[in-house]
A and B are shown apart, each in its own frame.
Chain A
């Protein structure tokens, strides 16, 4: 929908969040806030070994513990290979997981599950399950996974969709465009960077949790903290062998997800425990389990080589990726694909491109979807390499970006070549305000004054760095969202969406999109999300899709409802619909000035004449994925004596088209940037030599607190996306792509060493300074 000249009554305003009043009052709106009488507690027995065969399992003593109602394990649960990745269909992740396997593949892997009347009884039962393991040699790094003779992690015969199980390769992508080797050889100047991201965690404050119970008709209800209610229904049905029509999934308020709740982890176990016992079951991961047994970002090593002319225009880009998907291949192929697909189009001047990636299995925790979804890893290497290139060319880094970035009306072959685990969709960029983002960001940080100045303050040396990024808005050819909009007899509206607000504010944004079209205040639109019995389908909240994909569905439904309202009003006023205007909660005739309120129209249609339900269901399938763009600038101070890096000021200027709710859009950027700063400075899961995570707590795994957060400035730079609802694009992920390279580049500006292994701890910085003799 193109932006028109009409005055906006809802879009572009930071209206009160529709779920806000209940949240600030602490109302019981989250999954576990519902008490179910007689609910059992479900618990999972984790593997103590990184790689082992289960020789035997004896649950007799566990079953004898008073209060224990069920014990599940490989001996009594049918074997159905599936993937925990909650994605569209056909599922692009390999079917390499079963509920309870004969083999365990990481410390924390699921061995058995217990349901008991109390948590104490469940825990006691777990202690009494006797498992005999045959320990196998473990693969604890992606390099050893690929070595000749490495232990084969997925040797089960019934797995499907693994690229090369014998060599531990879960997924592979090879995309050539032109001849990158020749392009690099011919380039006047080349630059390269190899950057590495370790295991890191979403660390949503609400742990993964689910309630499973039965409704009056005996159907299974899953009330769960998920980003993908419809995928939960589909996957659980298949894994536990239940007709999907017998399953209802309810998504209440979600306490953060960031991708970790795009996985179907606890739901099938809780479902099966409920089915076996006939009782409600409540399951929640303890924080340690969230760390070890939910999902992580894919650790990666990304090598980028750039070739450019003397003028700084890129001619060739080569990107090589080694991704560690851990014990199972959830999102292995699609995250790997996105490393290239979300980064390479940004600098579309290069004619020769090569993207080569492998995602390999290891006996370590399972990686999955995490905000940024591969782009974060890709931009780290790409944007550090751009900084190296700028230095070699003697060009200002922001000028180098300006000479190379994609612009309105342009395209990149990558859009078509790389999609989500398959070919993508050709598209041109219809909106891009990156140039303005670069200008504003540079100004706010004081780029011209500070760059290269190395201001010192005792042992502290200051530097500034920058980076750029793009993302997408949904997945072309995969994402589909639907919305049902109903006008009530009082002239207010109900908006039912399968879209999944996980704290982003999407319920509010979707209400705004409808309210704008209907000419009513946002509080006249009651939003309900999401319930597979009552809301129409939506692929879910991931891939920066909700505002764009679900928003377009809502807009279409609102347009249809608007037409129906005008029809009813036209009949009542004895006018043609074309002379009627909808706005301010009423329909008015431009010809006669006669007016009907929405309440009068709703009343008439419901009760009086030509009775009908004013309502529409509309859907939107994502035909293209317009990228949001962002420029990141930061100032850091580096203590030369201790190696401590302090971010002093972080600026992100981002183009998300028209921001439907500016405050929420800023909030997405601010939160994503701080997560990225955490990646850059402190966050890393550490493992013992036997593969056990040794810092699986919020004390030992350091996410930034308010005291660690620098001054973060988020600036929305408007553009208008012609295909977006009211001109909008996405904003939720892009902010996490900038901090790693921008901070690395700022450290280089300050002290002249390149930090390419995250996080940039004081030890690593100090070692780098020593190695460089500084």
Chain B
């Protein structure tokens, strides 16, 4: 079947199997930032934004994004021009292995769009569905609060 949706600002119109999981479709399209850690919606590594909301792409099938906007980490910033939130993850030491990082950044990007001045507890709540086994979450929370600070200072574009 055909689906049409917007992927990181680009229109897509392509063939999918009705049962193809969104995580598989996105990775097939080269969006390798979308990671699979469990396949059961428990770890959050496959988090993407669908119409601006953080969703587990391993629990969705491709036809569910028909007519919607999908954003993966590839749509946020690049190596040479990282988004301030990505920069904050770097500066704060919030990245160890980096496997949960794409999902973490997208989940907290959604948070910061909703709530530009979150408390540490609100940050924890926002990432409670994104498991990290490396950091103890300490520096991830630091990073999100730093990015929020930069946002308040008008340093987000």
Closest chain-A Cβ to B11's Cβ sits at a distance in Å of 21
User: Which of A252-260, A348-356, A522-530 is found at the contact surface with chain B?
Assistant: A252-260
* Distance A503 CA – B45 CA, assembled complex (angstroms): 16
Interface pair B38/A287, CB less than 8 Å apart? yes
A235 close to B (CB within 8 Å): no
Most buried by B among A28, A29, A255, A502: A255
A663-B93, A671-B96 given; A287·B131 CB < 8 A: no
* Distance A501 CA – B21 CA, assembled complex (angstroms): 31
Interface pair A697/B86, CB less than 8 Å apart? no
Interface pair B89/A24, CB less than 8 Å apart? yes
- Contact partner of A705 (CB less than 8 A), chosen from B72, B82, B129, B138, is B129
Q: Please list the residues of chain B having a beta carbon within 8 angstroms of any beta carbon in chain A.
A: 32-40, 42-43, 45, 72-74, 77-79, 82, 86-87, 89-93, 95-102, 105, 123-125, 127-141
| Residue in B closest to A34 when the chains form the complex, CB atoms | B32
A669-704 interface bits toward B, Cβ cutoff 8 Å, 1 = contact, 0 = none = 011111100000000000000000000011100010
13 contacts between A and B (CB under 8 A): A16-B91, A23-B101, A24-B89, A24-B105, A26-B73, A27-B33, A30-B35, A256-B96, A256-B97, A258-B133, A706-B123, A706-B124, A709-B124
* Interface contacts beyond A206-B97, A707-B125: sample of 15 additional A-B pairs, CB < 8 Å, sorted by A: A17-B93, A17-B95, A20-B95, A21-B79, A24-B77, A24-B105, A25-B73, A27-B33, A204-B97, A255-B99, A663-B93, A663-B139, A666-B93, A667-B139, A706-B123
Query: Which A residues lie within 8 Å of B137 (CB)?
Result: 674, 706, 709
- Contact partner of A202 (CB less than 8 A), chosen from B35, B78, B125, B133, is B133
Most buried by A among B38, B78, B131, B136: B136
Residues of A224-273 whose CB lies within 8 A of B: 253-256, 258
| Residue in B closest to A287 when the chains form the complex, CB atoms | B38
Query: Which A residues lie within 8 Å of B40 (CB)?
Result: 287, 697-699
Interface pair A504/B96, CB less than 8 Å apart? yes
Closest chain-A Cβ to B132's Cβ sits at a distance in Å of 7
| Residue in B closest to A670 when the chains form the complex, CB atoms | B136
A24-B101, A25-B86 given; A699·B42 CB < 8 A: yes
Query: Which A residues lie within 8 Å of B136 (CB)?
Result: 667, 670-674, 709, 712
A709-721 interface bits toward B, Cβ cutoff 8 Å, 1 = contact, 0 = none = 1001010000000
Query: Which A residues lie within 8 Å of B77 (CB)?
Result: 24-25
- Contact partner of B133 (CB less than 8 A), chosen from A23, A675, A706, is A675
Interface pair B99/A256, CB less than 8 Å apart? yes
Closest chain-A Cβ to B107's Cβ sits at a distance in Å of 10
Closest chain-B Cβ to A314's Cβ sits at a distance in Å of 32
Interface size class of A (residues with CB under 8 A): 35 or more
Query: Which B residues lie within 8 Å of A709 (CB)?
Result: 124, 136-138
A24-B101, A27-B79, A204-B97 given; A256·B133 CB < 8 A: yes
Interface of A: prevailing SS: loop
Interface pair A667/B96, CB less than 8 Å apart? yes
A703-B133, A706-B140, A709-B124 given; A503·B97 CB < 8 A: yes
Interface pair A204/B105, CB less than 8 Å apart? no
* Distance A286 CA – B137 CA, assembled complex (angstroms): 25
| Residue in B closest to A286 when the chains form the complex, CB atoms | B39
Query: Which A residues lie within 8 Å of B87 (CB)?
Result: 24
* Distance A706 CA – B134 CA, assembled complex (angstroms): 12
A675-B133, A699-B40 given; A205·B45 CB < 8 A: yes
Interface pair A253/B93, CB less than 8 Å apart? no
* Distance A698 CA – B40 CA, assembled complex (angstroms): 8
Interface pair B131/A698, CB less than 8 Å apart? yes
Query: Which B residues lie within 8 Å of A14 (CB)?
Result: 93
Interface pair B95/A24, CB less than 8 Å apart? yes
A206-B37, A699-B40, A706-B140 given; A25·B78 CB < 8 A: yes
Interface pair B42/A706, CB less than 8 Å apart? no
Interface pair B128/A205, CB less than 8 Å apart? no
* Distance A727 CA – B130 CA, assembled complex (angstroms): 37
Closest chain-A Cβ to B115's Cβ sits at a distance in Å of 16
Query: Which B residues lie within 8 Å of A712 (CB)?
Result: 136, 138
Query: Which A residues lie within 8 Å of B127 (CB)?
Result: 705-706
Closest chain-B Cβ to A291's Cβ sits at a distance in Å of 10
Interface pair B37/A23, CB less than 8 Å apart? no
Most buried by B among A203, A699, A709: A709
A33 close to B (CB within 8 Å): yes
Query: Which B residues lie within 8 Å of A204 (CB)?
Result: 97, 99, 133
* Distance A69 CA – B79 CA, assembled complex (angstroms): 40
A185 close to B (CB within 8 Å): no
Query: Which A residues lie within 8 Å of B79 (CB)?
Result: 21-22, 25, 27
Interface pair B90/A205, CB less than 8 Å apart? no
A19 close to B (CB within 8 Å): yes
Query: Which A residues lie within 8 Å of B98 (CB)?
Result: 19-20, 23-24, 29, 253, 255, 503
Query: Which B residues lie within 8 Å of A372 (CB)?
Result: none
* Distance A300 CA – B48 CA, assembled complex (angstroms): 41
| Residue in B closest to A662 when the chains form the complex, CB atoms | B93
- Contact partner of B128 (CB less than 8 A), chosen from A23, A667, A699, A707, is A707
A505 close to B (CB within 8 Å): yes
A26-B33, A671-B96, A671-B135 given; A20·B90 CB < 8 A: yes
A505-B96, A667-B93, A670-B138 given; A24·B82 CB < 8 A: yes
A20-51 interface bits toward B, Cβ cutoff 8 Å, 1 = contact, 0 = none = 11111111111001000000000000000000
Most buried by A among B34, B125, B131: B131
Interface pair B99/A17, CB less than 8 Å apart? no
Closest chain-B Cβ to A131's Cβ sits at a distance in Å of 26
Closest chain-A Cβ to B90's Cβ sits at a distance in Å of 5
Query: Which A residues lie within 8 Å of B96 (CB)?
Result: 256, 503-505, 664, 667, 671
Q: Which 6 A-B pairs have the closest CB atoms?
A: A26-B33, A503-B97, A255-B99, A23-B98, A26-B73, A670-B136
Query: Which A residues lie within 8 Å of B78 (CB)?
Result: 25
Closest chain-B Cβ to A266's Cβ sits at a distance in Å of 16
A205-B37, A667-B134, A670-B136 given; A253·B97 CB < 8 A: yes
Most buried by B among A14, A206, A706: A706
A207 close to B (CB within 8 Å): yes
A207-B37, A707-B124 given; A503·B101 CB < 8 A: no
Closest chain-A Cβ to B121's Cβ sits at a distance in Å of 9
Closest chain-A Cβ to B129's Cβ sits at a distance in Å of 7
Interface pair A697/B42, CB less than 8 Å apart? yes
Interface pair A705/B131, CB less than 8 Å apart? yes
| Residue in B closest to A30 when the chains form the complex, CB atoms | B99
Interface pair B99/A697, CB less than 8 Å apart? no
* Distance A643 CA – B140 CA, assembled complex (angstroms): 30
* Distance A672 CA – B124 CA, assembled complex (angstroms): 19
* Distance A670 CA – B43 CA, assembled complex (angstroms): 19
Interface pair A667/B35, CB less than 8 Å apart? no
* Distance A642 CA – B72 CA, assembled complex (angstroms): 42
Residues of A371-428 whose CB lies within 8 A of B: none
A24-B82, A26-B33 given; A703·B39 CB < 8 A: no
Interface pair B131/A205, CB less than 8 Å apart? yes
Interface pair A697/B139, CB less than 8 Å apart? no
